[in-house]
Structure 1
């Protein structure tokens, strides 16, 4: 996929910000569309896609259940 998109769940990121989520969404849309920046004709579609993906990403992060690793006794 895109190397610029980082994992946003624990333990990789303790508390991802809205900026982290939006940056990941933007990188995804850029990769999928093939545009670093959209033309004027495509700006609205581009921004709507970033907003929708950011919302879906936040929804996913809010509902993930990540098991905490318990250190083993040695």
Structure 2
């Protein structure tokens, strides 16, 4: 699934930005919803899902412990 989502943890990606996290969340929601761009009546649900996935991703990356690496903090 979602082969175009890149790994966002060190050492695969040394610096992760909020844009990286948002792009991964957007790609995930597009994949599971089947919509590249939702219809107007689905826009709110689609955007809320992207925000929720991005927040969960940020939390995951901040709490993962990779041997020899500092936790990831998303950069602007």
- Indicate whether the TM-score tops 0.5: yes
User: What is the match of residue 38 of structure 2?
Assistant: 38
Alignment pair present for 1:12 and 2:12: yes
Alignment pair present for 1:61 and 2:61: yes
The two structures have a TM-score, normalised by structure 1, of 0.90
Unaligned runs of 5+ in 2: 70-76
The two structures have a TM-score, normalised by structure 2, of 0.87
User: What is the match of residue 48 of structure 1?
Assistant: 48
Aligned residues: 69
Once superposed, what is the RMSD of the aligned Cα atoms?
A: 1.1
Mapped partners of 2:4, 2:38: distance in 1: 19
In the TM superposition, structure 1's runs of 4+ consecutive aligned residues that sit over 3 Å from their partners are none
Unaligned runs of 5+ in 1: 70-74
